[in-house]
Chain A
Amino acid sequence: MQSILRIRPVGLALALAVTSAPAAADPLRYAEDQAPGIVNPLFTSTMSEARLGELVFEGLYTDDLDLRTAPDLAESAELSVDRTELVIRLRKDVSWHDGEPFTADDVVFTIQAMKDQGTASTEAGRVAWIDSAEVVDSHTVRLRFGRPEASPEDKLFFKILPKHRFDGTAVKRTDPFRNKPVGTGPFALDRYNDDGSITLRRYEQHRDAAGLPEIVMREVSDKNYQAKLLLYESLEALVRVLPRDLAMLDKDRGVELYPYQTNSWWYLGFNLNGGPWADPRVRQAIGHMVDKEALLAPIGTGDTVTGPFVPSSPFYNHEVKARAVSAGQASALLEEAGYKKVEGVWTRAGKPLTLRISAHKSLESAQEVVINLQSQLQRQGLTVEVDFMDEASWRGKVWRDRDFDVVLSQWSFDRNEDVREQFHSQGSRNFTGYASAETDKLLDEARDAIDPQQKKAALRKLHAQVHDDAPMVFLWTLDSYSAMRTRVDDVVVHPFYFFTWADDWTLD
């Protein structure tokens, strides 16, 4: 990917003069806090990557406007009587953006690539339930499952990749495909622009030719600047608006706000792979030191949380009480863990308790939160360092090397709010190293439940369990809205993937 030339507020007047008041045939321009680091669905890990992927790629199935499972690249399917085999007939009117025909080979290749350990796909968990995939004919595939599946179509939403663009099923993250993606979706990636933006053009051969001729993704890391660009018509859409900007944008009759609920929560995640943070008493003590309300107030309105769900979730355990902000309780826990306060600093064996807070540079308002948090913890006797990382450092240090003390980050979930990958000891997204037999048991119980009330009960117990174990300090959830100029018509926003129905959108 080309280097990103971030647009800064300094250039506001010039930028507005050059780019405002687009003509009707102009593109829809939207802002992301951070440009996608990679445009390869095998390695999608952030929301900005998922959103762009939604425009470029397609799955076998998708959501219709009422969020029911509907065929996308699939045409029809037949489930065997014992429910362990699904034969899918594929559409024949689909071609890749490079003109090659879409075939059953592509489907089988995608599943095999996701499952290939040499790929190390972040999405591997989404096909773990498929035992095998085979080509029946050019437009028919057969999937076999390890155990009966009541409605396997509901799990076939992952994006399909073109086999002919890869050398084998072991795909590297650095494969050139990452910035030269070829999909079957309604928009094709056209070019990376000098200002760091990405232009997508309508794929004219798509069976449902999109209403928008072009879409341009601009990376604008400053949320205030994003809002100004929208108000001055230099952008048509903001994916996420900060809660504090909602009222201002709502007053502008040229702007429409759309709820975009991603079931997101912020957290401080400890590195449990050794060091002081492996001791739950130390983590719980930090929990008593963090004044969440004070951290939240400057960045907007939201609800604080005590566990890994948002409060409106059916899995949220409202009986779990938040840890009180209490220097006394924090001190008692640290003393129990062998620490002493020497000249106002917590130490053990003569060494100060030092905490390095790592955060991704693009996380909205992260700097404000981290600085306030640093101040809160230092006042209570911790030595605190701060590390803001770019995407490459984040992937390397946090995900690959586990080189961190605590991260400030955010998880977003679709409507299933499935936290298994984050908290199961074998979870693919469990980078903190959290391992609890009780938690694993509850996650298994929730996964295997056929009674919704049993699943609710198991996950409410899990909420209490992870609150007690404190692998994370669960912080808050924020109101989530997107904003668009009113000249963007026919908008329906998918509650998680955002652009699922963007091919229906039009510009006045």
Chain B
Amino acid sequence: MVALLATAVLLSGCSGEPGPTVDPAAPALPDGWIGALVADPTAFGRVTGDARGAWVALHHGDLTTAAQGFGQGIGAHRAWREQAELHGDLAELSGWTWTALHAEWTAQDPTVADGPLTLLAALAAADAGDAEGARALAAALPPAQQSLVDELLAAGRADVAEADVDVPDLDDGGCLGAALAARLSADGVELPAGCDGSAPLALGEGEARFHDPLLHGTLARSAARSAEDALGQSWPERIAASGAGLDDLVFGVFWTDADLAAYLADPRATLSLDEIAGWTADGATSDDPQQARDQARRLDAALDAWAAARRDGASDDGRALLDDLKLVPQVRARTLERWARQALHNGRPHQALAWLQMAVDLESARELGPINRPSLYALLAQARARTGRTREALDALAVLEPAVPEVHALTETLGDLVVLQGMRRQGDSKEH
């Protein structure tokens, strides 16, 4: 049995309060691996076995350690996939930030457009998949640089098997050129040492100090490739032949066999929450945060009832496992995260913000952990930025930076935007 954390009542059910009620529209949620472990908590020790350290790292959101600890297989795949997703989310924020920075800065000082800002913003937009924005920015660039943006956009498409690109010398100290080469080549996506976003690009004397706009997109693709490599061929074949074991579900964080099967059929189903997500998907077209909060409360009611039922039939160890490992709050947070990502993609950042704020575990709001996954803070930063809360987006990145030091580059770029946005405003301060 894993060393259990200090007991805490994490779900509703404080003595004397009414029990959770279930929305009649809610489906009966499956037992899944969480139910299996609660029913037989001794299985947890058997499942984690030698991989206990790697599982603990994965559980706490330390994805690099988890990937190294698992080495190969579904656990390593899971850790790499989460990193790919994290850097993909950060690449989207990077694209948004560079585009906004370009707009704000050139509005205040049109001469800035003569420097590298426009090219970097166009590359960042392309990296985030914003083809329209990237092309609009690239329109002001010389033809060779326009081509570069086009090629980067093309390289992001699945149907481009290989790109043969002559990367121009950008005199940037090597990192941007290396990132471009990595992105536009089929050979690999590894960045040279030192290209970790800790230092600005060297773009010439007297120029503003800009950071690599392609860093997160490149890291996302590198992690995705590692995820693929970690899984190999044998694991899917074994699952297909003999079905999934409990360890596959626990390490892969698939709630049920059906979720795992769905993932194998379509890896874009990145989390095992289709059933919940499908039940509560509202097809919202407005960006109303109150509607988002109401939807989250329906989710809470269903999960509370599910957890209470599992707890009723469980041993003390089973209940402790459920509570101390925060298993149900994890499911809740990942569901909210998933809804938020969809909302961001569908242009509903206020709803995304509402869900993400509700997802944060306030017992340790400034730390990553089982609920506060790295991607939660990446999405929170994006939702805040896109709702005008750029200064608060920096708070979210600050939580991320100790564990993901590459975020420093984006923090500096977003910081430039925050400062620009405030330069024409009147500051205010008060006591207490």
Contact of B12 among A33, A253, A259, A416 (CB under 8 A): A253
State whether A65 touches B350 (Cβ < 8 A).
yes
Which residue of B is nearest A456, CB measured?
B419
A314 to B416 alpha-carbon distance, docked (Å) = 8
B362, B363, B416, B429: most-surrounded residue (chain A CB, <10 A): B429
A276 to B406 alpha-carbon distance, docked (Å) = 46
| Residue A34 at the chain B interface, CB threshold 8 Å | yes
State whether A251 touches B418 (Cβ < 8 A).
no
A312 to B415 alpha-carbon distance, docked (Å) = 9
A-facing residues in B363-396 (Cβ within 8 Å): 363-366, 387-392, 394-395
| Residue A157 at the chain B interface, CB threshold 8 Å | yes
State whether A314 touches B423 (Cβ < 8 A).
no
Contact of A495 among B392, B412, B415 (CB under 8 A): B392
Once A126-B426, A416-B425, A418-B429 are accepted as A-B contacts, the answer to whether A250 and B350 lie under 8 Å apart by CB is no
Once A67-B388, A154-B424 are accepted as A-B contacts, the answer to whether A261 and B14 lie under 8 Å apart by CB is no
A312 to B390 alpha-carbon distance, docked (Å) = 11
Chain A positions within 8 Å of B365 at CB level = 246, 301, 479
Number of A-B contacts (CB under 8 A): 168
A-facing residues in B89-113 (Cβ within 8 Å): 105, 108-109
A53 to B46 alpha-carbon distance, docked (Å) = 61
B-facing residues in A212-259 (Cβ within 8 Å): 246-247, 250-253, 256-259
A154 to B420 alpha-carbon distance, docked (Å) = 13
Q: Main SS of the interface on chain B? A: helix
Contact of A456 among B108, B392, B415, B432 (CB under 8 A): B415
Chain B positions within 8 Å of A315 at CB level = 419
| Residue B345 at the chain A interface, CB threshold 8 Å | no
A95 to B365 alpha-carbon distance, docked (Å) = 44
| Residue A422 at the chain B interface, CB threshold 8 Å | yes
| Residue A50 at the chain B interface, CB threshold 8 Å | yes
Chain A positions within 8 Å of B297 at CB level = 253, 486
Contact of A314 among B10, B14, B419 (CB under 8 A): B419
Contact of A151 among B105, B363, B364, B424 (CB under 8 A): B424
Once A67-B389, A68-B388, A452-B423 are accepted as A-B contacts, the answer to whether A312 and B398 lie under 8 Å apart by CB is yes
| Residue A363 at the chain B interface, CB threshold 8 Å | yes
| Residue A362 at the chain B interface, CB threshold 8 Å | yes
| Residue B428 at the chain A interface, CB threshold 8 Å | yes
| Residue A280 at the chain B interface, CB threshold 8 Å | no
Once A303-B366, A314-B415, A479-B365 are accepted as A-B contacts, the answer to whether A263 and B432 lie under 8 Å apart by CB is no
Contact of A250 among B362, B391, B398 (CB under 8 A): B362
Contacts beyond the supplied A46-B430, A314-B418, A492-B289: 19 A-B pairs with Cβ under 8 Å: A66-B388, A150-B108, A157-B426, A246-B365, A247-B362, A258-B357, A301-B364, A301-B365, A412-B429, A414-B428, A415-B391, A415-B418, A451-B208, A452-B417, A452-B423, A453-B208, A455-B419, A456-B415, A490-B290
User: 7 closest pairs, A vs B, by CB?
Assistant: A418-B427, A314-B415, A67-B388, A416-B427, A66-B388, A452-B419, A312-B398
